[in-house]
Amino acid sequence: MKAFDSTHLKCIYRQRFGADEHASRNGVWRALCRHFFQRFVPINATVLDLAAGNCEFINNIQAGSKIAVDLNEDIRNFAAPEVRVVLAYSHAMSEIAAESVDVVFVSNFFEHLPDKEALLATLAEIRRVLKRGGKLLILQPNIRLLKGAYWDFIDHLLPLTHYTLAEALELVDMPIEYMRVRFLPYTTRSRLPRAPWLVWLYLQVRPVQWLMGKQTFLVARKP
């Protein structure tokens, strides 16, 4: 299951995301949460952000209880005071009780897993912590749309399309309820606008998403 240890992760992400980049990304995520993701998250829900990174999602989403899971200890520097931080592998979140979470959010993480066995183990663990009727929200770079650019990052290991994700979710009995194949651009350094009002505008204009979207968004549910 192990691909990069916590020391590697610290080095990679400190180099990739500087302080200025974090501030800019946080503004983008604030707009994304407010104008799109919040519709899938009840305000009183228990939400778990898996591979939370710099905590842009979990800090900005409204929820009754917030959990951020990551291997990188730097997560403690980014999590808001109300966020519970758990250091754990994605397939072994033993600190999280079974059927205790309403919504799990996973953004730009599955491509970092070493193989499809690790993906299935992670999905099974997500299913374990979700309550019945709980939702899994996935934002995922789609290699079908990106071609060679998918491999521009050293920690991208597992090639995934929306078809791959659909089959994997079927195997763990978590049917997909909603899918937008072309949603966001590949990275916040690409052509996604940074100003909050421009992010809002991007979210309203589906033809622009069709042209620029390289990441797939989907919602699956635990029966």
Helix (H), strand (E) at residue 178: strand 176-180
- Model pLDDT, residue 152: 87
Mean pLDDT, all residues of the chain: 90
Please give the average per-residue pLDDT across 27-47, as a whole number.
96
Q: What is the DSSP letter of 55?
A: -
The per-residue pLDDT for range 206-217, each reduced to its tens digit, is 999 999 999 999
Q: In percent, how much of the chain has pLDDT > 70?
A: 87
- Model pLDDT, residue 98: 98
Residues whose CB is less than 8 angstroms from the CB of residue 177 and which lie 6 or more positions away in sequence, other chains included: 135, 219, 220, 221
Tell me how far apart the alpha carbons of residues 62 and 46 are, in angstroms, rounded to a whole number. Answer: 10
Helix (H), strand (E) at residue 29: helix 19-35
pLDDT at position 105 over 90: yes
Q: How far is CA 8 from CA 1, 5, 78, 150, 187, in A?
A: 15, 5, 18, 20, 21
Q: Residue 25's pLDDT band (boundaries 50, 70, 90)?
A: confident
Q: Which domains does the chain have, with CATH numbers?
A: 6-221 (3.40.50.150)
Tell me how far apart the alpha carbons of residues 1 and 10 are, in angstroms, rounded to a whole number. Answer: 18
Q: Residue 153's pLDDT band (boundaries 50, 70, 90)?
A: confident
Tell me how far apart the alpha carbons of residues 114 and 195 are, in angstroms, rounded to a whole number. Answer: 35
| Total Cβ atoms within 10 A of residue 11 | 11
Tell me how far apart the alpha carbons of residues 13 and 93 are, in angstroms, rounded to a whole number. Answer: 22
- For residues 153 and 187, the answer to whether their CB atoms sit within 8 Å is no
Taking CA 98 as the corner, what is the angle to CA 93 and CA 102, rounded to the nearest 5 degrees?
A: 95
